[in-house]
Structure 1
Amino acid sequence: MKCSIKYNTGWPLTGHLLAGVHRLTPGTSKPTVNVIPHFTSFRIRLALFFSGLWLVCASGLQANPHAESHTVYRFGVFPYLSPTRIEQAYAPLAAAFGELLGRPLRLGTAKDPDTFRTRVLRGDFAIALVPPFAVVPLVDHGGYVPLARQPSSPARIVVLINSSLKQTDGLRGKTLGLPPTRSPASVIIRIDLDKQGLLAGTDFQARYFPSTPACLHNLLVNRVDACVTGSGAGLRSFERKMGVKLRTLYRTEPFPHMLLVTRPGLPPDESDKLRHFILSLEESVAGRDLLRHTGPDSRFVPYHSADYDAIRRYLK
C-alpha cells in the first residue's frame, strides 16, 4: 500500500521519502555518533524516526482478533529496555493482569521498535505498553482503548555542576550524549535544538548511548559535554547512587510518556477491569511493589486525550 500523509508543511510523505527515513535506523546498539542531515522536513523525519514509523498508513491499521487463541492473551511492552530487563520489570505485572482476567497471559516484546510496531498493528497483543507517538494511529484513528498513561515530565539536558556551559547555544562545537535514538527524550530534545538552529553534525556532535545511565557515566568522565535525560526520578536515582549533583542546562515542555492500551475487540468489561486495576495500584502495598518493579517512582495516571496534545504538536 502506498500512502500519503500531509502535515501543515504541505509536504506529502510518500513511500520513497519514508524509505529514506527508515534507512536512518542505526544498525547497532553500541554507542555511536549518528549524524542526521538537516533539511526542511527535518522535524517531520525526526518525529517519524522516533515513533518507529507508527504514523505510516495509519488509516489502514487493522487489529487481528485471531492473532492469538481465545484463552491466551499477550501483554506487549515496547522494547525500551533489553528483553531481560523487560522480563524482570513487567513479568509480575503481566501475572497480575492474567490473574485479574482469569486467563493465561504471556509477556512479550520485540527485538527492535519496528518489529514491535508491526506486531501491535497486526493485533498480536491484547494489552500493550506503547510509546507516546503511537497514540495518534492507535487511539486517535485505530480504535485502541487507552487504559492509563505514565505521568508527564520534561526532557532535560544536564551538565556537570562546574561546567562552563550556561545555555544551549554553548553546545556549539561540543559533544552531546543522548539515550537511544527513538527514546522520547532524545528526539524531542533534537527537535527543540533544531528549532533553535543547533544542528547535529554541524553545530554539535550527537553521540548516542544504549541507555541514559550509560550517557551519564560518560558525562562524569568527560567523554561528552552534556547529556540528555528523561524522567527526573531516574536522574535523581543516578545522582544518589553516584554521589554527584548535576545541573540542568535546558528543560523541554512536559510531555506524556508511555501509554497502556487494549486492542479493538477486547471485551469492554476486561478493559474496564484492567483500567481500574492499573489506576489503583498505588493504593496498596502489593500494588506499589508491582510498580516499583517497572522503574523508580513508576506510576500510572488516567488518560485524557488533551494530555497528548504536547506530543501531537511535535508532528506539526
Structure 2
Amino acid sequence: MLRQYTNYFYCLCGTRPPRRRARTLLILFAVLLTFLATGLPSTTVAESADKQYTLGVFPYLPPARIEKLYGPFAASLSEAIKRPALLRSRSSFEEFRRAASNGKFDIIFIQPFDYIRLGKNTPYQAIARWQSQLHAIFVTLPSSPIKHLKELKGQVIAMPDIDAAVSLLGYLTLHQANLILGTDVKIVHTANHFACMKLLLIGKAAACVTAPSPRRLFQDRAKLTLKLITKSQNIPSPLYAVHSRLPAKHHQAIFDTVIGWGNTEKGRRLLSSVKFKAYVPTTSKEYEPVRVIWKEVQPLIQQYQVQQHKGSQNPSSPQ
C-alpha cells in the first residue's frame, strides 16, 4: 500500500524529492487520500446512526415489572427510530424526576405532577397521554367491612411514593373529607403501587391508594378483586414526552408510534399488557390544571411531614 501511494505521489510531482522530505510528504499524502476516501460527512452520519436513546419510565411498579412490561415498548420505539432505545427507570419518584431534570433521558413516560414540576420551560415536549383521565382510587380487601371514606378514620392507609400522583390526589381527597393526616388517619408510604396493595394482603393497612391500571395488574397476579371505597377527582393522565435535542424526524416517528399503538394488533397487545387502551395527542398546556392542584396539595405534604417528624420524636403519639 505504501509503495502504491509512492507511485501516485511521484506521478503527481513528476520528480523524486530528497528522501526525508519525500517520506514526510508521502505520509501527508496518504492521510489526504484516506480523508478523501472516507469523507467527514459520512463519518458524522455513522456516529449519529450508532447513538443510543434512552426511554425513562417512572417507577410506579417494581423494577422487574417495569423491565418486563416496558421492554417491548422500548423495542417498538427502537424499531421506529432505527436505533437502540434503552429502557431506564429509577428507584424513587424523586430520583426519576431529578434524572429527567438533568436531561438523562431522551424519551420519558412520566406522571403528571412530576411533569409539571420539571417547569414550564422544560425541554421535554409532551406528545401523548393515556386516552382516559387519571384518578386515585381507595381500595380494600373484598372481605373488609369498610364501604365509605369516613370509615377509614383511625385506620392505616397505604400509598405509593409520597411524590406519586395518586398519593397527592389521595391527600387532597382525605382533606376534602375532613380527615386530618396523622391525626384521623395514619399514612404509610411504600415503594410502588404493588407494595401498597401487598400491605392489604398481610393486614398492615385497611386501605390502599392506587390507580385503576396497577389495580388491574395486581388483581391478575393475586387472583382477587379489590373492593373500591372511593375515587378522587380526575386529572390529565401520565404522558410521553420527547427531549427537544432529538431531531424532528425522530420526534415525529416517536409520536406516530405511540399514537399508533392503538391501531394495530401488535400495538394493542402492548397496551393490554399494561392495562391501557390507547394514547391520544397532548400538549403541556393540557397540564395547567395539575399546576393548580399541586399548589393546593403542597400544604398537605408539609402537614404530613410535620406529623412524621413529631412521630419520630414521640413514638407513642399517633402518626
Query: TM-score range, shorter-chain basis?
Result: 0.5 to 0.7
Q: Could you tell me the TM-score, scaled by structure 1's length?
A: 0.68
Shift of 1:240: 5.7
Alignment-mate amino acid for residue 294 of structure 2: L
In the TM superposition, what whole-angstrom CA distance separates every residue of 1:96-139 from its partner, at most 9, and x where no partner exists? 22221122332222333333223222222221112212332547
Q: How many Å separate the matches in 2 of 1:104 and 1:211?
A: 28
Choose 202-211 or 213-222, whichever is displaced more: 213-222
The residue number in structure 2 matching 1:97 is 77
The residue number in structure 2 matching 1:296 is 275
Alignment-mate amino acid for residue 178 of structure 2: G
The residue number in structure 2 matching 1:108 is 88
Cα distance change of structure 1 residues 138 and 225 upon mapping to structure 2, 3 Å threshold: closer
The residue number in structure 2 matching 1:62 is none
Alignment-mate amino acid for residue 303 of structure 1: T
For residue 315 of structure 1, the aligned residue among 291, 294, 316 is 294
SS in 2 for 1:315: helix
Shift of 1:211: 3.7
The residue number in structure 2 matching 1:227 is 208
Tell me if structure 1 keeps the 8 A contact 2:169–2:233. no
Choose 236-245 or 306-315, whichever is displaced more: 236-245
Alignment-mate amino acid for residue 52 of structure 2: V
The residue number in structure 2 matching 1:17 is none
In the TM superposition, what whole-angstrom CA distance separates every residue of 1:154-204 from its partner, at most 9, and x where no partner exists? 211123455443432222211212223222112210122134332232111
Tell me if structure 1 keeps the 8 A contact 2:125–2:243. yes
The alignment yields a C-alpha RMSD, in angstroms, of 2.7
For residue 272 of structure 1, the aligned residue among 237, 252, 255 is 252
Structure 1 consecutive aligned stretches of length 4 or more whose deviation exceeds 6 Å? none
Q: How many Å separate the matches in 2 of 1:198 and 1:134?
A: 25
Residues 1:152 and 2:133 aligned together: yes
SS in 1 for 2:229: strand
Structure 2 gaps of 5+ residues are: 1-46, 296-319
Residues 1:248 and 2:228 aligned together: yes
The residue number in structure 1 matching 2:184 is 203
Which structure has more helix as a fraction of its residues? Answer: 2
Cα distance change of structure 1 residues 107 and 312 upon mapping to structure 2, 3 Å threshold: same
Cα distance change of structure 1 residues 148 and 173 upon mapping to structure 2, 3 Å threshold: same
Alignment-mate amino acid for residue 313 of structure 1: V
Tell me if structure 2 keeps the 8 A contact 1:145–1:271. no
Q: How many Å separate the matches in 2 of 1:83 and 1:160?
A: 25
Cα distance change of structure 1 residues 94 and 193 upon mapping to structure 2, 3 Å threshold: same
In the TM superposition, what whole-angstrom CA distance separates every residue of 1:213-241 from its partner, at most 9, and x where no partner exists? 4433443454322221212x443454565
Shift of 1:261: 0.8
Residues 1:282 and 2:259 aligned together: no
For residue 188 of structure 1, the aligned residue among 169, 180, 185 is 169
Tell me if structure 2 keeps the 8 A contact 1:153–1:256. yes
Q: Could you tell me the TM-score, scaled by structure 2's length?
A: 0.67
For residue 115 of structure 2, the aligned residue among 115, 135, 139 is 135
Tell me if structure 1 keeps the 8 A contact 2:128–2:240. yes
Alignment-mate amino acid for residue 102 of structure 1: K
Structure 1 gaps of 5+ residues are: 1-68
Q: How many Å separate the matches in 2 of 1:105 and 1:220?
A: 37
Choose 235-244 or 80-89, whichever is displaced more: 235-244
SS in 2 for 1:301: strand
